[in-house]
Amino acid sequence: MFMRILAFICFFIFLFGSACTNLNQKSNKKPLSMINLDKNIVQQTMDSLNARYTDLDAERAEKGLSQMAALWTEEDGNPGAFISFCLENYVNEDGERETLFNSLSDKIELITGYFHKIDVGLKAPLHLAGGELNVVDREMGGYDVSAHFREDMFTNKLAFTVILNFPSYNLQEKQQLGEKWTGLQWAYARMGDWFASRIPAEIQQSVSNALTTADTYISDYNIVVGSLRNDAGDTLFPEGLKLISHWGLRDELKSNYADKTLGLEKQRLIYTVMKRIINQEIPERVVNKDDVQWNPVSNQVYENGKEIQVTPEPDTRYKVFLNNFLALKAEDLYTPSQPTYIQRAFDGNMEFSKEEVRDMFTRFISSEQVKQVAGLIKQRLGRELEPFDIWYDGFKSRSSISESDLTGKTSKLYPDAKYFERDLPGIMNRLGFSAAESQRICDKVQVDASRGAGHAWGAVMKGDKARLRTRIPDSGMDYKGYNIAMHEFGHNVEQTISLYDVDYYMMNGVPNTAFTEALAFIFQKRDLEVLGIKGDNPQKDFFMALDIFWGCYEIMGVSLVDMAAWEWLYAHPDATPAQLKENVIRIAREIWNEYYAPVLGEKDSPILAIYSHMIDNPLYLANYPMGHLIEFQLEEHLKGKSFATEVLRIYRMGRLAPQLWMKNATGRELSIEPMLQAVKNAVENLK
C-alpha cells in the first residue's frame, strides 16, 4: 500500500514538474516576442474608432490602445489583427462597459479565490506547526497554481479586452486624477492594474519557488537560546527555549528590559547571536538544534561538555536573498511600465515613489528628536546606550510587568489555537465592537498554530476565511505569541472588512500593506487592555508617541539597508552570495555610522541587516515604518471617537490611492510632521 501511495505522489510531482521549474535550470521555452507596435498602428486604430463613435472618450481609448500595443506579441497576430481586435472589442457605451466590468470582476473573484484556497492547502505543511517537511511538502508548497492564469488570459485575448476598456493608470495619474473619481471609476482603474504586465507562467513559477524556499528557510531558522552559554559556562535562558530569527530573538531582547538582574547580559548575548547570523559566522550545527551548547562570544560549540569542531553556515542567508533577486529580476522584460522590481515594489505595490519614501525616512532618522528621545532612554536606563537599544521597549505600559506573569495569564486563557479562535468575538467586543459586528467578522477568521513566527493571510473571495497564525507551545500561548496574535488579528479584521464591505470587489484591500500594518499595530498595542489590564497613566499619550517614534527610528534604518542592497544588486546582477554578504554588511554599517552610531555608539555595527523580511519578503520592509506613521495619525484621529465605528468606516474605503485614503480617513495626508511635533511635545512635558 505504501508503495502505491509513493508512486502516486511521484506521479503527481512529475505531473506538475514543468511548472515547478528550478531556478538553476534554463528553460527551453522561447521568450515572448514583444514587438511594441508602431505608433502609426495605434493612430490608425484611433482614427477608425473616432469614425465609428462620435462621442468617443479619446483619452481613455488612446491609453488602452497604447498599453495594448506595448504588450502585443507576434504570437497575438500582425498589425491588421491588432486593429481588428480593437474595433471588435472596444466598448464605448457606459452601461455596456459597466456590465462588462461586473462580469469580469465576478469571474476574477471566483478564479483567484479558488486559486488562493488551493494555495492555502498546499502551503499548510510549510506554514503550520507540525513534523519534519518532506520533498512533497516543499515541492508542492512552492507550486504556484495561479502561474498560468494571466498567461492564459493573454493567450485567449481576454486580457487585451481588459486593457482596451480599462487601461491602467500610473502613480502620478492616480494622485492627480483620483480625488475626482467616483467609486466606480476607481474600481475601473483597479481593474486596469490586473493586466499591466505580461509575465510568462514559468517566470511566475520561478518567483513562487524562490519565495517559498526563502519563507521555509526563515520559518525553520530557530536558535535554542536555552542552549547558549556565556564565558563562565552559565545558562541564562530557560532550558529548551527556542526563538525564531529575528523576531523571537528581538522580542526576547525587548522583554529583558524588565529584568534588572540578568537582563543586560542576556541582551548582549542575543546581540552577539544576531551579529553571528548577519556575518554568517554562526555554526551551522546550532541552527534549529538543541543537542549542543554554543558560546556566541567565543563561537565555540560543545557536545556533552566537550568542544567539537564545527563549520559556519555557508552564506545560505545571502544565497536565498540572491535567488529572490534573480527570480524577480527575470520579470523585468515583461513589465514595460515598471521595468525593475524596485519600481514595482514602490510605484506599483506601495504607490509611493522610492525617492519619496527615502526622503521621508532620512529626514525622520536625522531629526533632532532622535537625540532628544535617546537622551530620555539613557536617563531611564541609567547607562550609556548600546546598539541593541534600537529595540528599547520601556515606553510601553507593559514594560514594568513581568513577562512570565503575562505568559501565565495568556497560557491559561489560550491553551491552544481553538481557544483563541473562540475568544475572537470577545476580543472585538472588549474593543468596542457590537456583539453582532464582532461575530460577523470573527466567523470569517480561522486560527492555527504556526511553524514560523506567525502571519495573517486574508481571504481572496467572499465565503472564504482569513487565516491567523501564531506560535503556540505545548504549554499554551505565551505572551509573545499572544502579542503577535493580536497583531495578526488586526490584519484579519482589516482583510475581512475591506473584502466584504467595499462597494466593488476590485476595490478590496487597502492602498498598500502599510495600511493593514497600521491596524495590526493598533490592535497589538491594545493587547493588555484586552486582557483586562488597564493603564491609568495620565502621560500615556506622550509615551505612545515616544514608543511609535522609536519603533520608526529602528525600522526606517533597516528599510534603507534593504533598498540600498537591492540597488546594489541591480548594479551588480552577477554577484555571488559572498559578494552580496560583503556589501549588505557594508551598507548596514554605513547607514549605522551616519544615523545611529552618534546616538547609540559602537561604530560599524551591522545590526540593521538582521531583519528576516529582508530575506523572505523582498522590499517589504518599508511598509513597517510607513505603517507606524499611518498608525500614529489614525490614533490621533481616533481620540474621543468610537474606535469600532471609525475602524469600520475607514477600512470600508478600500484600495484608494494612499494619500487620498489618508485624507478621507484622518483629514490630512501622510507626513512625518505630526509625529515629530508630538514627540517634541512629549519630551518637553516629560523633562
Phi, psi of 306 (to 5 degrees): -115, 140
Rounded to 10°, the helix 354-365/623-638 angle is 70
Residue 1 has pLDDT above 80, yes or no: no
Provide the 8-state DSSP code for 612: T
**For 314-380, what is the HEC assignment?**
CCHHHHHHHHHHHHHHCCHHHCCCCCCHHHHHHHHHHCCCHHHHHHHHHHHHCCHHHHHHHHHHHHH
Residue 12 has pLDDT above 50, yes or no: no
Provide mean pLDDT across the span 449-470. Answer: 91
Please, what sign has the CA dihedral across residues 345, 349, 350, 352? positive
Give the DSSP H or E segment for 207: helix 201-219
Instruction: Label residue 139 by pLDDT band (50, 70, 90).
Output: confident
Instruction: Label residue 36 by pLDDT band (50, 70, 90).
Output: low
Q: How far is residue 591's CA from residue 606's CA, in Å, rounded to a whole number?
A: 9
Which residues, in sequence order, are CB contacts of 237 under 8 Å at separation 6+? 225, 226, 228, 252, 266
Q: How far is residue 563's CA from residue 560's CA, in Å, rounded to a whole number?
A: 5
Instruction: Label residue 39 by pLDDT band (50, 70, 90).
Output: confident
**For 13-59, what is the HEC assignment?**
HHHCCCCCCCCCCCCCCCCCCECCCCHHHHHHHHHHHHHHCCCCCHH
Q: In 3D, which of 49, 315, 257, 324 has the Cα closest to residue 165?
A: 49
Q: How far is CA 382 from CA 472, 506, 548, in A?
A: 35, 54, 22
Residue 366 has pLDDT above 60, yes or no: yes
CB 528 within 8 A of CB 398: yes
Q: How far is CA 195 from CA 178, 335, 351, 415, in A?
A: 20, 10, 17, 46
Strands (E), 142-265: 222-224, 242-244
Residue 2 has pLDDT above 70, yes or no: no
Residue 27 has pLDDT above 50, yes or no: no
What pLDDT does residue 313 have? 97
CB 159 within 8 A of CB 225: no
Which residues, in sequence order, are CB contacts of 8 under 8 Å at separation 6+? none
Rounded to 10°, the helix 94-127/201-219 angle is 40
Residue 375 in grid coordinates:
537622551
Phi, psi of 166 (to 5 degrees): -135, 70
pLDDT tens figures, 630-681: 999 999 999 999 999 999 999 999 999 999 999 999 999 999 999 999 999 9
Sequence ranges of the domains in the chain: 29-203, 218-317, 337-395+536-686, 402-530
CB 343 within 8 A of CB 196: no
* CB under 8 A, 24+ apart: contacts of 643-651: 643/431, 643/432, 644/428, 644/431, 644/432, 644/433, 644/434, 644/437, 647/493, 647/497, 647/519, 648/437, 648/497, 648/501, 651/493, 651/494, 651/497, 651/498, 651/501, 651/510, 651/519
Residue 270 has pLDDT above 50, yes or no: yes
Residue 543 in grid coordinates:
509615551
Q: How far is residue 203's CA from residue 520's CA, in Å, rounded to a whole number?
A: 32
Return the residue matching grid coordinates 510568462.
200
Instruction: Label residue 9 by pLDDT band (50, 70, 90).
Output: very low
Provide mean pLDDT across the span 456-474. Answer: 93
CB 501 within 8 A of CB 652: yes
Q: How far is residue 113's CA from residue 80's CA, in Å, rounded to a whole number?
A: 37
pTM: 0.85
DSSP SS3 for 601 = coil
Q: Give the largest Cα separation in the chain, rounded.
A: 88
Give the DSSP H or E segment for 454: strand 454-457
Residue 333 has pLDDT above 80, yes or no: yes
Q: How far is residue 620's CA from residue 566's CA, in Å, rounded to a whole number?
A: 12
CB 503 within 8 A of CB 186: no
Given the candidates 2.30.29, 2.60.120, 3.40.390, 3.30.390, the CATH classification of the domain at 402-530 is 3.40.390
Q: How far is residue 589's CA from residue 602's CA, in Å, rounded to a whole number?
A: 10
Which residues, in sequence order, are CB contacts of 552 under 8 Å at separation 6+? 364, 625, 628, 629, 675
Q: How far is CA 14 from CA 4, 21, 140, 370, in A?
A: 15, 11, 11, 56
Q: How far is residue 289's CA from residue 412's CA, in Å, rounded to a whole number?
A: 28
Residue 449 in grid coordinates:
498554530
Residue 407 has pLDDT above 90, yes or no: yes
Q: In 3D, which of 38, 39, 49 has the Cα closest to residue 91?
A: 49
Residue 30 has pLDDT above 60, yes or no: no
Q: Which residue has the higher pLDDT, 485 or 141?
A: 485
Q: How far is residue 588's CA from residue 578's CA, in Å, rounded to a whole number?
A: 15
Cβ atoms within 10 Å, residue 131: 7
How large a percentage of the chain has pLDDT more than 70?
94
Q: How far is residue 9's CA from residue 568's CA, in Å, rounded to a whole number?
A: 42
Q: How far is residue 210's CA from residue 214's CA, in Å, rounded to a whole number?
A: 6
Q: Which of 23-37, 461-475, 518-532 has the lowest mean pLDDT?
A: 23-37
Residue 489 has pLDDT above 60, yes or no: yes
Return the residue matching grid coordinates 470569517.
444
Q: How far is residue 592's CA from residue 614's CA, in Å, rounded to a whole number?
A: 17
